[in-house]
Amino acid sequence: MALRPIRLLGDPVLRTPALPVTTFDKELRTLVKDLTDTMLEAPGVGLAAPQLGVGLRVFTYDVDEQLGHLINPVLHFPSDEEQDGDEGCLSLPGLTFDCRRKQHVVAHGQNEYGDPVTIEGSALMARCVQHEADHLDGVLFIDRLDPETKKAALAAIREAAWANEPAPVVKASPHPLFGRTR
């Protein structure tokens, strides 16, 4: 089991659109495994690769006893029906806010071997798929809140202990970067 640290709001990787997966190799399957393990340990109902600092279009989910993953998702909404409900994110720990989402979703994509797969879901499953697919576009659920709720969310974020910690130093390279180490 391999757990990786979950990146928090403020980390630029969460705001960077992720790239499509083109190589379905062992490294990708390790990523899916690490996403799954880290999600289950957190615990959370979904986790997207950018939350582990990996800019690829991959997410995992664990909703209503359904554990799985989806790669290169493309979402469709079979109806205009919407749902309201509390939503949270492992990258904004401890905070939940009412977020409007579509009630039903159909997501086409691939599995870790590159085979085409389709996920159909309603209610929490639909919410999870929309939330995780947003992560792949650098979008967070706080971007989806109505203006009043968003104001409250931003105030709560300012108060959150994790938002006031210095950003963790991620050692990206053993070599000096532009003449200085970081």
Catalytic site includes residue 148: no
* CA proximity to 92, closest of 129, 34, 42: 42
Using rule CB under 5 A, residue 136 touches Ni ion: no
CB of 140 to Ni ion, least distance (A): 7
Q: Which is nearer to Ni ion, 25 or 84 (CB)?
A: 84
CB of 36 to Ni ion, least distance (A): 15
CA-angle at 124, arms to 121 and 43, nearest 5°:
120
Interaction of residue 89 with Ni ion, rule CB under 5 A: yes
Distance (Å) of CA 62 to CA 5, 120, 180: 19, 14, 42
Catalytic residue among 41, 65, 112, 132: 132
Q: Which stretch binds Ni ion (CB under 5 A): 19-27, 66-74, 81-89, 156-164?
A: 81-89
| CB of 21 or CB of 52, closer to Ni ion | 52
Token pair for residue 163?
Answer: 């938002």
Contact flag: residue 35 with Ni ion (CB under 5 A): no
Min separation Cβ 45 and Ni ion, Å:
9
Note whether 105 and 130 are within 8 A (CB).
yes
The residue (of 87 and 112) whose beta carbon lies closer to Ni ion is: 87
Q: Interface with Ni ion includes 18 (CB under 5 A)?
A: no
In the complex, the residues that contact Ni ion under the rule CB under 5 A are 89
